[in-house]
């Protein structure tokens, strides 16, 4: 029942990934959610946790190799198991489960007692659950949770082309609750939107793998849903490990020394918990309750600050440790408490004791040197920022942090260039004044300049389709979109900014565009945006004009290749040419349009011609006809 680990899809447009490093080698044991390898894509560098516990039987791709999404990277199973069994394990059929248990207990059983090291002791519990196939029919159900026979894993969805992770805001269901198809399972937040995630299937919540407050990458498992009968299977599995110690009584001496020379025993003991505990990360100790899920963010923080996660109190669901728990621990960690973390490096607490295990007695006298570590750990409050008298310091909220990260990423990705034109809005203003009362009575909101600009822009995008494209330099691809999905930047009452998309904007007139903007703005400000609302924009407009801006140079909403800024329209004296060809000075409604564009995708001539087309449309179209 070996398991193949494949290259995951870490983004809607990601097609391949590069192996940066393997955290485990062939023959190493690994626990569920323990880091197996690190990969890199054009979107993100991330650690990949193991989906199962076992032994690394085979590594199929070398470090530095780039492989397609879905390619098998490694095989994980039981010690001594043939890698050829990986294929049957991937097939979700009843027969393999019925036939596997008889052979599995019989073959592995002899090797377990035969090998003296602690590793077999760790492996012993694995066959134990299958060694009790008294009720043959129930056993396959017990195996299902491990291989997913009658269960469905709910993973973090991709809620936008550039979204790589999401934060669990709240769970609407708990373990043991029943749920229907499309019933709300949880609420998540990304840098684009907060949204509810419905259940893809009906059944019982068997397991919740990510705690509230945890941030997990797209594709990471969050919960397991199955039938009520399969929910009982895990209860039988934990019961099996108790007979296991009886089956391996060769290690009773370890129990006796445990009180005094505990450091020596844990050196071997951690191997057993690592294999027996299906959900405890390698960075956690035996003090952490089974079933705890460490998110990549928690693991990263713990590693960066040398935090022993067994010392952190979890406040998440089922006492799970969240990012805030680790951050609070780092900020408030007493100087003396830093020593174990520094000494442990990335290992569990027993490892810290194992270091002085060589000189057994000095182990007691070894702690004194530890206080020297606090000197290095004293600057732990790395999060401190310089302040002056009277300053008020506040934590950045999730949305502001994400906006900041996305803006930096966009500036580092696209080659930003800014171009602007002056536009005479006099014809637009006259039509707007003539129709604004009737429009408001019919629609319930005011007729602004924005739908006129949007209408003129959609026409220009048809004329210059390269401006309505997406650019991917690493893949050497440019995607020319057939649809014009007009992204609109919406201000969230000065608490943030989000881009929502009016789909197929080229099929809408002024009234339709005005309704689209109003609908999306209302949904955004009332936190009602849906994933589809913020996905798929092909060109973006931002509208700082109502706030009194003169000229603005916005940041491109990557992977779009341009963004248009509409600034304040005001009465200004300007030179116009009369019907008889005479120049004269007149008071007109003048405004400026600024285009930030990606010089990687096209050049200055295209940018200027595109803006000139919008200017021509606004100054010359029959807007009366457009409003009919």
Residues assigned a catalytic role: 599, 603
Contact 378, 334 (CB under 8 A): no
Distance CA(16)–CA(474), nearest Å, equals 12
**Cα distances (Å, whole numbers) of residue 168 to 164, 185, 223, 503:** 14, 11, 12, 28
Q: Compute the Cα dihedral for 160, 165, 171, 174 and give only its sign.
A: positive
Q: How far from each other are the two terminal CA atoms of the chain, in whole angstroms? A: 68
- Tokens 């490990």 belong to 241
Contact 519, 513 (CB under 8 A): no
Question: Helices then strands (H, E): number in the chain?
Answer: 23, 25
Helix (H) or strand (E) holding 499: strand 497-502
Alpha carbons within 13 angstroms on the beta-carbon side of residue 75 total: 19
Contact 127, 247 (CB under 8 A): no
> What is the token pair recorded at 20?
């940066």
Distance CA(491)–CA(162), nearest Å, equals 20
Which residues lie across from 480 on neighbouring strands? Answer: 469
- Tokens 């993973």 belong to 155
Distance CA(116)–CA(124), nearest Å, equals 12
The verdict on whether omega for the bond into residue 90 sits within 30 degrees of 0, i.e. cis, is no
> What is the token pair recorded at 15?
């097609």
């Amino acid at each position: 029942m070996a398991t193949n680990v494949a290259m995951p899809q870490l983004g809607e447009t990601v097609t391949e990934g590069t192996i940066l490093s393997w955290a485990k080698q062939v023959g190493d044991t690994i626990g569920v959610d323990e880091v197996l390898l690190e990969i890199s894509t054009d979107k993100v560098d991330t650690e990949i946790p193991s989906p199962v516990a076992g032994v690394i039987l085979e590594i199929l791709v070398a470090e530095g190799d780039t492989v397609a999404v879905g390619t098998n990277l490694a095989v994980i199973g039981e010690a001594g198991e043939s890698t050829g069994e990986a294929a049957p394990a991937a097939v979700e059929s009843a027969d393999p489960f019925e036939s596997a248990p008889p052979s599995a207990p019989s073959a592995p059983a002899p090797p377990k007692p035969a090998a003296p090291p602690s590793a077999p002791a760790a492996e012993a519990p694995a066959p134990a659950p299958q060694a009790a196939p008294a009720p043959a029919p129930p056993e396959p159900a017990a195996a299902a949770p491990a291989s997913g026979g009658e269960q469905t894993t709910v993973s973090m969805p991709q809620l936008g082309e550039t979204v790589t992770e999401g934060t669990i805001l709240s769970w609407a269901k708990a373990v043991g609750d029943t749920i229907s198809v499309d019933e709300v399972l949880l609420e998540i937040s990304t840098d684009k939107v907060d949204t509810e995630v419905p259940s893809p299937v009906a059944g019982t919540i068997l397991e919740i793998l990510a705690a509230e407050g945890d941030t997990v990458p797209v594709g990471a498992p969050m919960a397991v849903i199955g039938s009520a009968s399969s929910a009982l299977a895990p209860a039988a599995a934990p019961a099996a490990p108790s007979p296991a110690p009886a089956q391996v009584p060769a290690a009773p001496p370890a129990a006796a020394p445990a009180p005094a020379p505990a450091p020596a025993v844990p050196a071997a003991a951690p191997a057993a918990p690592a294999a027996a505990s299906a959900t405890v990360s390698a960075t956690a100790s035996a003090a952490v309750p089974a079933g705890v899920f460490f998110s990549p963010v928690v693991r990263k923080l713990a590693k960066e600050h040398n935090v022993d996660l067994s010392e952190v109190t979890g406040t998440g669901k089922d006492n799970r440790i969240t990012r805030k728990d680790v951050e609070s621990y780092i900020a408030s960690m007493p100087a003396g408490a830093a020593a174990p973390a520094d000494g442990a490096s990335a290992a569990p607490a027993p490892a810290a004791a194992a270091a002085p295990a060589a000189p057994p007695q000095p182990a007691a006298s070894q702690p004194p040197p530890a206080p020297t570590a606090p000197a290095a750990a004293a600057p732990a409050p790395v999060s401190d920022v310089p302040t002056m008298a009277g300053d008020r310091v506040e934590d950045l909220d999730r949305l502001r942090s994400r906006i900041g990260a996305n803006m930096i990423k966009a500036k580092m990705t696209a080659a930003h260039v800014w171009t602007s034109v002056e536009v005479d809005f006099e014809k637009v203003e006259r039509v707007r004044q003539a129709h604004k009362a009737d429009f408001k009575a019919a629609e319930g909101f005011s007729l602004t300049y924005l739908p006129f600009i949007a209408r003129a822009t959609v026409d220009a995008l048809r004329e210059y389709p390269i401006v309505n494209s997406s650019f991917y330099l690493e893949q050497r691809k440019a995607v020319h979109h057939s649809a014009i999905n007009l992204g609109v930047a919406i201000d969230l009452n000065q608490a943030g900014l989000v881009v929502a998309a009016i789909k197929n904007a080229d099929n809408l007139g002024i009234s339709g565009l005005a309704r689209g903007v109003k609908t999306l703005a209302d949904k955004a400000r009332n936190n009602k945006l849906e994933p589809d609302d913020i996905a798929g924009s092909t060109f973006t407009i931002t509208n700082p004009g109502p706030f009194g801006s003169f000229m603005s140079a916005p940041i491109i909403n990557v992977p779009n290749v341009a963004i248009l800024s509409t600034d304040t329209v005001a009465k200004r004296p300007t030179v116009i040419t009369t019907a008889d060809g005479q120049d004269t000075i007149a008071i007109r409604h003048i405004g400026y349009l600024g285009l930030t564009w990606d010089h990687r995708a096209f050049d200055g001539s295209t940018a200027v011609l595109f803006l000139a087309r919008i200017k021509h449309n606004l100054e010359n179209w029959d807007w009366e006809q457009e409003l009919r």
